Amino acid sequence: MNFSLTPAQLQVQAQARAFARNRVAPLTREMDEQGEMPLSLIQEMATTGLLGGPMPKEYGGGGWDAVSLALCYEELGRVDSSVRGFMTVHTSLVSQCILQWGTETQKQTYLPQLARGELIGCYCLTEPNAGSDAASMESTAALSGGDGYIINGEKIWITNGGIAHLGIVFANADRSLKHKGICAFLVPTDADGFHREKMPGKELGHRASDHAHIHFENMPVPKTALLGNHGDGFKVAMSALDGGRLGVAAGALGVAQACLDACVDFARTRRQFGQRIGNFEMIQATLADMAADVDATRLLVYRAAWLRDQGEKAARETSIAKLFATEAAVKAANEAVLLHGGRGYSNEYPVERYYRDIKGLQIYEGTAHIQRIVIARELLGRE
Ligand code: CAA
């Protein structure tokens, strides 16, 4: 067993860490307050080689392995979950999904442009009545005279949906077949009948993320837009989520590490009762528990990524990583706010944002309940 990172992985880690610290960190507070991420930052992520990192070189990517991608998400997540979330949707849910399921023409058409950030991607699965129960989606794809489909329906909470140029859209062509009727389509967001607006309300966290409510109104799509075969859509969606969930787990690892870093720093410098608060055993116990959780999370996240690199099916290990990482990070953020006292309760210190952001990671790309379902089904089998 070898726990060392390779020189190539260390290089990606250093590159992502430098980008997160130098380019993202100075913007986090402003982005959180203004509720958006500058498009110029997305362009920088592309030119730095992050957006296309895991794409093969022939499609304009950096040829990273899954461990490298996890390291990149960890470093971005350590600084800003909205930025990490943007990239996970664009790169893991969209580009990697096209790489796995696309025809050669689709790959050549979209992947280099996605890697260069000329196209932004979004993944349109969730609906008002189909969140955790994704297979019960109500959007329909009706065959239209043999040369294409007409899509009608509605999607909510679509990350990047307001700024994306390309969506992977899931709709059911025959609801009597349940999940076997679902098809996946590659749809330009300027297609006739594609309407989008910002989600109403102000989110608890991830305030710089773009979340859209999308309607499809008699939207025509050609058969060439099918991603995978007719009826493969549910498998396309689930396999993409295997990659996305790993990205969320790695991002949560970054948040947990950021909480630990902030707490160690604060415990060393904050003085009460005539000494640094880190001298108190209750503070030491908090830091030690947090450090143990961060280590365990890191091992689970890297294992799931390593398994992907071995070409193994890692849905169970990915769900374990996402479940454990998000719960550990929720706990770390909770403790971090407490340890910072009054300062932790204001945006003077970033732990307040970690506390608000992390709840989202426990919900999107499959809630903690859904991860437990995936794990339990692997243990018990299906009756
Ligand atoms: N990879 C490939 N295929 C898979 C798979 C995977 N990981 N998981 C399941 N499948 C296949 C199964 O093998 C099965 O195939 P057959 O029909 O050939 O037998 C088929 O899919 C149906 O599987 P299930 O019977 O397990 O399906 P289910 O309806 O019971 O659902 C579930 C399983 C795990 C609960 C699933 O619905 C699920 O993951 N729900 C959560 C949805 C989710 O994560 N939504 C997040 C949306 S994206 C987002 O949040 C952020 C954003 O902005 C993009």
What one-character-per-residue DSSP string does 327-356 give?
HHHHHHHHHHHHHTHHHHTSTTSTHHHHHH
Q: Which atom of ligand 1 is nearest to the CA of 123?
A: 54
For residue 45, what are the CA distances in angstroms to 20, 66, 83, 201, 254? 10, 18, 10, 28, 18
8 Å CB contact between 21 and 79: yes
User: Using one digit for the tens of pLDDT, what is the confidence trace for 46-92?
Assistant: 999 999 999 999 999 999 999 999 999 999 999 999 999 999 999 99
User: Using one digit for the tens of pLDDT, what is the confidence trace for 321-356?
Assistant: 999 999 999 999 999 999 999 999 999 999 999 999
Q: Is 317 in the pocket of ligand 1 (CB under 6 A)?
A: no
Q: Give the distance (Å) from ligand 1 centre to CA of residue 70.
A: 22
8 Å CB contact between 20 and 257: no
pLDDT of residue 50: 98
Tell me the C-alpha distance between 283 and 336, whole Å: 10
Q: Is 101 in the pocket of ligand 1 (CB under 6 A)?
A: no
For residue 210, what are the CA distances in angstroms to 51, 82, 121, 287? 17, 9, 12, 34
Q: Tell me how long the chain is.
A: 383
Q: Give the distance (Å) from ligand 1 centre to CA of residue 22.
A: 38
Tell me the C-alpha distance between 336 and 258, whole Å: 10
Q: Give the distance (Å) from ligand 1 centre to CA of residue 133.
A: 8
Catalytically active residues are: 365
Q: Is 135 in the pocket of ligand 1 (CB under 6 A)?
A: yes
Percent of the chain exceeding pLDDT 90 equals 97
Phi/psi of residue 197, each to 5°?
A: -150, 165
Match 């409510």 to its residue by tokens. Answer: 213
Tokens representing residue 82 in the block: 């909205």
- Closest-CA residue, ligand 1 atom 47, reads 365
At residue 365 the predicted structure's pLDDT band, cuts being 50, 70 and 90, is very high
Model confidence, pTM: 0.97
Tell me the C-alpha distance between 234 and 134, whole Å: 8
At residue 145 the predicted structure's pLDDT band, cuts being 50, 70 and 90, is confident
Q: Give the distance (Å) from ligand 1 centre to CA of residue 238.
A: 4
Q: Is 315 in the pocket of ligand 1 (CB under 6 A)?
A: yes
Q: Give the distance (Å) from ligand 1 centre to CA of residue 364.
A: 14
Q: Which pairing describes strands 166-172 and 121-124: parallel, antiparallel, or unpaired?
A: parallel
pLDDT of residue 382: 84
User: Using one digit for the tens of pLDDT, what is the confidence trace for 269-307?
Assistant: 999 999 999 999 999 999 999 999 999 999 999 999 999
- CB atoms closer than 10 angstroms to residue 272: 11
User: Using one digit for the tens of pLDDT, what is the confidence trace for 186-206?
Assistant: 999 999 999 999 999 999 999
Q: Is 373 in the pocket of ligand 1 (CB under 6 A)?
A: yes
Percent of the chain exceeding pLDDT 70 equals 100
Tell me the C-alpha distance between 11 and 18, whole Å: 11
Q: Is 124 in the pocket of ligand 1 (CB under 6 A)?
A: no
pLDDT of residue 105: 98
At residue 147 the predicted structure's pLDDT band, cuts being 50, 70 and 90, is confident
Helix (H) or strand (E) holding 234: helix 233-269
Q: Please choose from 160, 178, 238 the residue to mutate so as to test ligand 1's pocket, defined by most ligand atoms within 8 A of CB.
A: 238
8 Å CB contact between 237 and 134: yes
pLDDT of 146 strictly over 80: no
Query: Across-strand partners of 166?
Result: 121, 188
3-state secondary structure of 213: strand
User: Using one digit for the tens of pLDDT, what is the confidence trace for 15-37?
Assistant: 999 999 999 999 999 999 999 99
Whole-number mean pLDDT of the chain?
Answer: 97
At residue 358 the predicted structure's pLDDT band, cuts being 50, 70 and 90, is very high
